[in-house]
Amino acid sequence: MTQTEYKTAVEQLKKYAYHYYVLDDPITTDEEYDILYHHVVAYESANANEIIPDSPTQRVGDQPQDKFDKANHLSRMWSLEDLFNKEELDKWVERITKVYGDVKFYSEPKFDGASLNLIYDEGRLVQAITRGDGTLGEDVTQNAKTIQSIPLTIDYKGRIEIRGEVVIFKEDFEKINEERLKSGESLFANPRNAAAGSLRQLDTRITASRRLVFMPYGIGANSLEIGNLSERMAWVYGLGFRNPHMTHICVSADEIETFYHEMRIARDDFAMLLDGMVIKVDSIAVQDELGYTVKNPRWAAAYKFPAIEKLTRLKEVILQVGRSGVVTPVAIVEPVDIEGVTVERSTLHNFDEIERKDLRIGDKVIILRSGDVIPKIVKVITADRNGSEIEIQRPHNCPVCNSELLDEGALIKCQNLDCEARVVNSIIYFASKPCLNIDGLGDKIVLALHEAGLIRELIDLFGLTLEQLLSLEGFKEKKSQNLLDAIQAARGCECWRFINALGIEHIGEVASKTLCSAFGTAFDTAQREDILALEGFGVEMVESVLEFVRVNGLKINTLREALSPVEPVKRVAVENPFKDKTVVVTGAMSVPRDTIKAMLEELGAKVASSVSKKSDFVIYGEDAGSKYDKAVELGIALLTESEFRQLTSLPDSGTPAQSSSIKPKNSLFD
């Protein structure tokens, strides 16, 4: 790569990232991005003195810090006066209009996260400071650089402060908590805490993994000559920051009120939490004249949305038994209205989480609900206890079938395969979207069919008749026929749906697809070592498949006959050294290992996760460990990444093909 090519590649990467992280409109694939990124890394490691400061490689942090330094904002970061209803809004607007006459108000969402001040000078991000007390905050520059929606450089040379809110998408918040639940860590109460906590991580790599997003809302110290806030913000978005999209100029309290209601309706559709709308006088000259009170600007206010966190009381804990037998505690609380929805129950995840929170029956609790954030108890108010609260006991018997439960700590399981809850939930799961996607076969109908004794196990679905359905309450001719048709339509389903629908523990959609492409519909005849060799399959998953097949062999056969799932179509790769070969990738690569794996699959290779006699190649990187040793021991052909790329004529980082110090027994280079 020449220097000019390097510069073009960096520009291209920045463009890709801008489309992905700022415009939410990707223009390339992850793989394409990774390949180009790898070229840039290679060039930079050979030409360290030529590194462009805003190259995407420069976002990645170095060693963990031991503390954050304090840092001063160039100008104060204010907070906002809160307005809660139309009356307060009317008063606030009037206070301004009675002096200044017709004033325009710029209105935008109020994002619920952690505020951050970015200082740019000479076009570069020089410092990122948390709000702190408004004057003095903490320097989190290294962490801010990992946030992809914060430009490292801007096309403006003056010194300027760009302010905004660091948020976490609701979806990412749920994912982080799921991970934390699995690893036994305490859960984040809400996305705001998750964002604030992630921004203040001493280890930059943790911040980088949290997918934080920066939403700009204002400008601090500056020497701009743009006279209106709306134009200033348009200019900020043009510098490469995210645009919140829902902004509007209103000219009266009534217009503000109308826009506020529109935004409230749109609230759940935003990827991040909003806690209100912010109204700001548009004219900078009027803003300056209005000035500030001790705490707030007089030219801006937060028109708050109804809270999504409410105080209530825990009435009882009920137990739900899932299809895999896992018993999940569910909190029943005194009903509270949260944004028009009555919340009466919330998940408690598991008994370890109950113990961590020290939750007791009768406790006052704060509950959170917002659109796609599942209702959850975020805080227990232990200070308000009066001694009548009752500790929650771990159950010993299944609440549905009464059989003895297996207590594994975080998970408590009912092991009775015939437990009604397990059967009904398995059927519901079987019919659900990521499985056979049978229209009209939801929770209520499955339960009704089961209670009427029409379905005792999955296969019974295929024997249902019109007469049987018509005998049920609420089933007219059309509804019954539609259901029968929908069940019939599941015949000839994709092979992975059939596997997924069986509900094998630890085997979800991705693993079902892997099993399907490796073994087809006869996945149940696969051998232990072949399953273990599959990408992403650990011992627990393999044992789960084998155990399921052992216990349910007959059931799999009958369902397979009833469904006739189609075999996956194998794509035919062009002739190449890796076609139909089993390859293991180990150690650090110049691009994420998944990229190399995707390339191999494209070439028609089977990517395995462990080395065995059946392996044909092991591609290894810098810190390869035991898999490398095993390959040497078994005499499997070893390739460096560079050698692999040469063999497939893929552009590489420029390392000579013969750089490998070890010559495998059956090396391609002998």
CA-to-CA dists, residue 369 to 190, 195, 266, 306, 542, angstroms: 10, 17, 15, 11, 37
3-state secondary structure 372-388: CEEEEEEEECHHHCCCC
Residue 3 or residue 79: which is nearer to ligand IVH going by CB?
79
- Under the criterion CB under 6 A, does residue 235 sit at the interface with ligand IVH? no
Under the binding rule (CB under 6 A), the answer on residue 218 touching ligand IVH is yes
CB of 264 to ligand IVH, least distance (A): 15
Burial 388-397 (b: 16+ CB within 10 A, else e): ebeebeebee
Rounded Cα distance, 215 and 194, in Å:
16
Binding region for ligand IVH (CB under 6 A) out of 54-62, 294-302, 396-404, 615-623: 294-302
Minimum distance from CB of 24 to ligand IVH (Å)? Answer: 19
Shortest distance in whole angstroms from residue 76 CB to ligand IVH: 9
Looking at residues 83 to 142 of the shown chain, list those that interact with ligand IVH (rule: CB under 6 A): 108, 110-111, 115, 131
Nearer to ligand IVH, 282 or 641 (CB): 282
Q: What are the backbone dihedrals phi and psi of residue 458, each rounded to the nearest 5 degrees, phi first?
A: -50, -45
- Amino acid letter for position 652: D
Stretch near ligand IVH under the rule CB under 6 A, chosen from 64-72, 74-82, 366-374, 545-553 = 74-82
Contact residue for ligand IVH among 8, 29, 45, 79 (CB under 6 A): 79
Residues numbered 297-316 forming contacts with ligand IVH, rule: CB under 6 A: 297, 300, 302
Q: How near is the Cβ of 45 to ligand IVH at its closest, in Å?
A: 39
Q: Which stretch binds ligand IVH (CB under 6 A): 75-83, 91-99, 527-535, 540-548?
A: 75-83
| CB 451 to ligand IVH: min, Å | 50
Find out whether 76 and 135 touch, Cβ atoms under 8 Å.
Answer: yes
Rounded to a whole number of angstroms, the minimum distance from the CB of residue 227 to ligand IVH is 17
Contact 335, 342 (CB under 8 A): yes
- Tokens standing for residue 619: 């591609």
Nearer to ligand IVH, 217 or 498 (CB): 217
- CB atoms under 10 Å from CB of 297, counted, come to 19
Q: Toward ligand IVH, which CB reaches closer, 130 or 480?
A: 130
Residues 326-355 that bind ligand IVH (CB under 6 A): none
Residue 129 contacts residue 138 (beta carbons within 8 Å): yes
Task: Calculate the CA dihedral of residues 613, 616, 621, 626 and round it to 10 degrees.
Answer: 0
> Catalytic residue among 110, 145, 357, 376, which?
110
CA distance 590 to 570: 29
SS (H, E, C) 528-566: HHHHHCECCCCHHHHHHHHHHHHHHHHHHHHHHHHHCCE
Find the shortest distance in angstroms from Cβ 165 to ligand IVH: 4
Nearest Cα to Cα of residue 118 among 221, 1, 48, 7: 221
Q: Using the minimum distance from each CB to ligand IVH, give the nearer residue, 14 or 131.
A: 131
Residue written as token pair 């273990």: 532
Q: Segment near ligand IVH (CB under 6 A), from 295-303, 361-369, 441-449, 604-612?
A: 295-303
Question: Which one, 294 or 539, has the nearer CB to ligand IVH?
Answer: 294
CB 115 within 8 A of CB 165: yes
Shortest spacing between CB 155 and ligand IVH, in angstroms = 23
Query: What is the closest distance, in whole angstroms, from the C-beta atom of residue 158 to ligand IVH in the complex?
Result: 20
Report the residue number, 34 or 108, with the smaller CB distance to ligand IVH: 108
- Tell me, by CB under 6 A, how many residues bind ligand IVH: 15
With CB under 6 A as the contact rule, the residue among 34, 44, 54, 165 that binds ligand IVH is 165
Is 216 a binding residue for ligand IVH by CB under 6 A? The answer is no
Write out the DSSP string of 479-531. HHHHHHHHHHHTTT-BHHHHHHHT--TT--HHHHHHHHHHHGGGGGG--HHHH
Residue 111 or 617: the one with the smaller Cβ distance to ligand IVH is 111
Per CB under 6 A, does 80 bind ligand IVH? Answer: yes
Q: Is 110 a catalytic residue?
A: yes
For the CA atoms of 324, 329, 334, 338, the dihedral, rounded to the nearest 10 degrees, stands at: -60
Cβ-based nearer residue to ligand IVH, 110 or 232: 110
Enumerate long-range contacts of 437-442, CB under 8 Å, 24 or more apart.
437/490, 437/497, 438/486, 438/487, 438/489, 438/490, 439/482, 439/486, 440/479, 440/482, 440/483, 440/486, 441/483, 441/486, 441/487
Nearest CB to ligand IVH, comparing residues 79 and 465: 79
CB of 307 to ligand IVH, least distance (A): 14
Q: In the bound complex, which residue of the shown chain has the CB atom lying closest to ligand IVH?
A: 115
**Binding segment for ligand IVH among 78-86, 511-519, 624-632, 661-669 (CB under 6 A)?**
78-86
Q: Whose CA is closest to 227, among 281, 283, 288?
A: 283
**Amino acid identity at 368:** L
Binding mask 618-647 for ligand IVH (x = CB under 6 A): ------------------------------
Question: Does the footprint of ligand IVH cover residue 78 (CB under 6 A)?
Answer: yes
Task: Measure Cα distances from 225 to 231, 280, 285 in Å.
Answer: 11, 18, 11
Binding residue (CB under 6 A) for ligand IVH from 278, 281, 317, 469: 278
Considering only 65-73, 76-84, 401-409, 533-541, which stretch makes contact with ligand IVH by CB under 6 A? Answer: 76-84
Catalytic residues: 110
Under the rule (CB under 6 A), what is the footprint of ligand IVH? 78-80, 108, 110-111, 115, 131, 165, 217-218, 278, 297, 300, 302
